[in-house]
Amino acid sequence: MVDRLYHFVGGARVEGRSGRFAPVFTPMTGEISAEVPLASAAELADAVANAKAAQPAWAATNPQKRARVLMKFLELLNRDFDKLALKLALEHGKTIPDAKGDIQRGLEVVEFAIGIPHLLKGEFTEGAGPGIDMYSMRQPLGVVAGITPFNFPAMIPMWKFAPAIACGNAFILKPSERDPSVPLLLAELMAEAGLPKGILNVVNGDKEVVDAILDHPDIKAVGFVGSTPIGEYIYSRGTANGKRVQAFGGAKNHALIMPDADMDQVVDALIGAGYGSAGERCMAISVAVPVGQKTADILVDRLASRVRTLKVGPSTDPTADFGPVVTRQHLDKIKAYVDIGIQEGAELVVDGRELTLQGYENGFYMGGVLFDRVTPEMRIYKEEIFGPVLCVARADDYEAALALPNDHEYGNGVAIFTRDGDTARDFAARVDVGMVGINVPIPVPLAYYTFGGWKRSSFGDLNQHGPDSVRFYTKTKTVTSRWPSGIRDGASFVIPTMG
């Protein structure tokens, strides 16, 4: 039985009216599990009108009361944690333990957002001038929106809506149409937690609704996570319409391995960071850069034996290292990149393309792939594959290794493995990448820091979560105050100063 999904608007489930639907698959079997409605611009406009009507009262609610709704949401999230993780795994394809990590990292940003009343405090200067006080305050933007990707259907929606709502905004969420069920369930939990109707709305759709979000005059800010071409499009169109936009795009994350590194730690790190979640992570390590030929030979030999023994299984298998990828189309794309790598002259050390699982022959499975002797002019080096493919790009020395992430068009995440503190400090200072790990393969900052890449991995001035999220979802108002004291200075025709 194929379920018919819905939108969530004004605190209630709303059936799609456009007549257009997209299939939602169960990746481990290849079967269609649901149909999701694809909204029209008119349906988006209805959701925005609902949000706009509800937002002023929410903004006028004091920050502590707003935070209490998020506290209740956390309680409900923990109550339903296992149910949400199972639904997420079945629709996305990642294993249940990995799905739980997806939810947990989103939950941590909700915890951060509960403390936003502290970050909403403005500044105050008494006696800034004769009888003059000056202060600032942060106020919500109004209606804001988030366009989120398939690979983290719980985490990234929470990264977006929790800070925005805590700051007093109303939120329109457009999740991926590939795995929309968990975002819908999150909105229902927020309503159960006491969030007023209309403050969090979920509108499913494709490019038509994305363009409607970017063009709607009442949406003041848009956050996006996805590929670089789409991120650039969203940033250009959104800002052209006067919106505040943060758009996070693709990645090609490097890990430098110095000759003095702990090779046991390195191999474990690369196996987990390169192949976890079938490589469908924007912070996955996709390029290993061993420094020196001896280091490279040792690394490739040890990686190859581990990649060959990776256990790929259905999402519900508790012993699987990773599960299927999200769709058949994406599986075909990853396999095509392997073909390209072979044609370009890279050495295919481990080939996982022919993996099949008994009883799951129609699932979207692929084994781990390992390439050696990958060079910067190859497409498999330059482009984001977003699958269980790890490329080894050898470097003769540290400077040559450092040049690889510095010269790449993407600058999302990077790591170095070394026992030498001086090398690590130099790397952290000089690498042209937004998030850096030192003996840490996936350097995703904690919720109270900010997440964001550099170069063509990010468009916009402000990052996700942490203090930047408060800056992004609020505007600053500065007040200069003077109360009559019986002193009159007469009219002045020069610019005011406080001297």
**282 catalytic residue (yes or no):** yes
Across the strands, what pairs with 14? Answer: 7
Average pLDDT for runs of 10 along the chain of length 499? 93 97 97 97 98 98 96 97 98 97 97 94 90 94 98 97 98 98 98 98 98 98 96 97 96 97 97 96 96 98 97 96 97 98 98 94 97 98 97 98 98 97 97 96 90 94 92 96 74 70
Decide: 365 and 30 in contact? Cβ < 8 Å. no
298 Cβ contact partners less than 8 Å away, ≥ 6 residues apart: 263, 290
User: Is domain 253-438 in CATH 3.40.50.300, yes or no?
Assistant: no
Q: How far apart are CA 54 and CA 468, in angstroms?
A: 25
Which of 98, 162, 131 minimizes the C-alpha distance to 489?
131
Q: How far apart are CA 97 and CA 212, in angstroms?
A: 36
- For residue 193, the tally of other CB atoms under 10 A from its CB is 17
Per-residue confidence (pLDDT) for residue 81, from 0 to 100: 98
Q: Which of 166, 213, 247, 282 is catalytic?
A: 282
Tell me what pLDDT residue 498 has: 59
pTM for the whole structure: 0.94
**What Cα–Cα distance (Å) separates residue 165 from each residue in 32, 44, 71, 119, 355?**
34, 19, 13, 14, 44
Q: Which CATH number fits domain 3-249: 2.40.110.10, 3.90.470.10, 3.40.50.300, 3.40.605.10?
A: 3.40.605.10
Residues of the chain with CATH 3.40.309.10: 253-438
Distance, in Å, from the CA atom of 127 to the CA atom of 135, rounded to the nearest integer, reads 11
> Can you read off the two tokens belonging to residue 301?
């030999």
What was the pLDDT predicted at 499? 59
Structure confidence at residue 241 (pLDDT):
98
Would you call 337 helix, strand, or coil by DSSP? helix
Angle ∠(360,364,367) on CA atoms, nearest 5: 95
Domain with CATH 3.40.605.10 in the chain: 3-249
